[in-house]
Amino acid sequence: MTLILGIETSCDETAAAVVADGQTIRSNVVVSQIDIHQRYGGVFPEVASRQHVLSILPVIHQAMVDAEADWDNLDAIAVTHGPGLAGSLLVGVNAAKGLAWGRGLPLVGINHIEAHIYGNWLADGPPPEFPAVCLVVSGGHSELIWMTGHGQYRRLGSTLDDAAGEAFDKVGRMLGLPYPGGPSIQRAARGGSPAAFRLPRAWLPGSYDFSFSGLKTAVLQIVQKYPSEDEGLQAGKRRATGAQPLLMRMMPVADLAAGFQAAVIDVLVTKTVQAAQDLAAKTVLLAGGVAANDLLRAEMVRNSPVPVCCPPLELCTDNAAIVATAGFFRFQAGERSGWDLDVVPGLRLATEQEGRPVQDSFPAPVL
């Protein structure tokens, strides 16, 4: 049995997990900073890294306790070293290096996007079949990836502007919904009609790329037709009714949320299905925080010509079990990172030209 400790601090979750053989989760501790960042309407990088410093050692300790694991039984430590916020990544990478050095354990640097993809190896049922089209949609990334084997990727397309999750977060803010926007919009959309507003879809014919900025602007233009909270309150006071201002109540938040969500998912599903057909994929894999969206999961299953695999809901958003699982496959393949492993905030998973994972350029093993 191979036991890996995973560590994740790329954004606003401090997480550690112990996973056996890349498939059995022994512990999975996630300390979210959502409450702290909610007041800023998004992640405040400096605050995020300070919170990681406070949480990282207790979180790792808890993961070891929950797993009833002993340091001597661990085989390796896997840590996210990019992409993400530099200050946040540094906390996890330095903690991992210190522990690996102190305990004499091998260190494996992991690409956060790859970790999200490996959430699919933690789903029930047989492991996904290759080749697979992976739709990776998170707060920082929207990419279609062609995966032909473990660690073998080629980027088919990516967003030209906002990531899908980022668009959910920004539109959530426009609609006055709490951060993060994705789950808030999903909830709000349940009471709305996706057909109430005809919102644009950027099809970008002939490519697997995405673009969400036009859709975001279209929502903004509708929202601006309604008074801001302050204007509404002033109007309400002038009427001295004491009730919620009439105009504010008219903002069709549920319809806008439903229309926006339908537009994003329409494009994500259509492009993924097209890629799966064009390339004769055996599986479609969903990954990243937006893969928690129930409409995306349902529509992908309904439209895909091949089986669709989704990580368990709680493993779609950032956590360290997916890092440990990705770490297991790289560790099995003999990969080790050197003590000079650095954070790479803009780390990419694959290049279109070469189709090789960026980790191929890791320094030679020193352990």
Question: Which stretches of the chain bind ligand KG4, using CB under 6 A?
Answer: 11, 138-140, 165-166, 168-169, 180-183, 186, 288-290, 292-293, 317-318
Nearest distance in Å: CB 358, ligand KG4: 17
- For residue 267, give the nearest of 189, 307, 207, 220 by alpha carbon: 207
**Between residues 9 and 105, which has the closer beta carbon with respect to ligand KG4?**
9
C-alpha 349/C-alpha 347 separation (Å) is 7
Give whichever of 114 and 318 is closer to Zn ion, judged by the CB atom.
318
Contact of residue 186 among ligand KG4, Zn ion, none (CB under 5-8 Å per partner type) = ligand KG4
- Rounded Cα distance, 51 and 180, in Å: 18
* C-alpha of 42 from chain center: 15
Give the residues lining the site for Zn ion (CB under 5 A).
138, 318
Smallest distance from the beta carbon of 109 to ligand KG4, in angstroms?
A: 17
From CA 208, how far away is CA 13, in angstroms rounded? Answer: 30
Smallest distance from ligand KG4 to CB 33, Å: 12
200 neighbors 260 (Cβ within 8 angstroms): no
Minimum distance of ligand KG4 from residue 83's CB (angstroms): 9
Q: Which residues pair with 147 in a beta bridge?
A: 132, 153
The one of ligand KG4, Zn ion, none whose footprint includes residue 114, by CB under 5 to 8 A per kind, is none
Least distance from C-beta 208 to ligand KG4, angstroms?
Answer: 20
The pairing of strands 142-149 and 308-309 is: unpaired
User: Which partner from the list ligand KG4, Zn ion, none does 290 bind, CB cut-off 5 to 8 Å by kind?
Assistant: ligand KG4
Q: Is 332 buried (19+), middle (13-18) or exposed (0-12) by CB count in 10 A?
A: middle
Cβ-based nearer residue to ligand KG4, 109 or 181: 181
